[in-house]
Amino acid sequence: MLANVRMGELKVADTLGDELAVVGLGSCIALALCDSEAPVAGLAHVVLSTSPGGGSDQPGKYADTAVPALLAAVLGAGARRRRLRAVLIGGARMFATGLDIGARNAEAVTAALTSAGIPISATDVGGIRGRTARVQVGGEVTSQMAGLERNVLLVLGRAVLA
């Protein structure tokens, strides 16, 4: 089964071979949390770095709410905290003027993961090109820039590109 994770969403899969994907990442961050031994993986499509003061009905939309929400979801599906590995994909600078939203998103997700004690195994962030992120439960986490080959970032909890 392939599940597309849209802007502000987070999804968890716990069936070996199932796939989660974010297509067309620009300044957003796809945050993957994978159990290195059990068939559990989650993916959040983080749009902005900080939630408004009153919270949000879409916890996956903001870095400061997406990390704890995704963490709770994968743990609830059977993952073990000590075996979790994080991968960040996206965070491109899509516009030459104004704020670098992509860099701010990557920094905010990194800070939230550090605060939660979750190690980052691999990243593919920055630049000026969009990407697609894919997470296969029990398989690989990959990133693919538009028009280029797919890069394998994590295989069963082992970083292969950082």
Percentages helix, strand, coil for the chain, rounded to the nearest 5? 20, 40, 40
Is 34 a known active-site residue? no
Task: Please name which of 117, 122, 127 lies closest in space to residue 140, comparing C-alpha atoms.
Answer: 122
Task: Please name which of 149, 108, 139, 116 lies closest in space to residue 15, comparing C-alpha atoms.
Answer: 139
Task: Please name which of 21, 115, 16 lies closest in space to residue 65, comparing C-alpha atoms.
Answer: 115
Say which of 28, 33, 73, 113 is annotated catalytic: 28
Positions marked active-site: 28
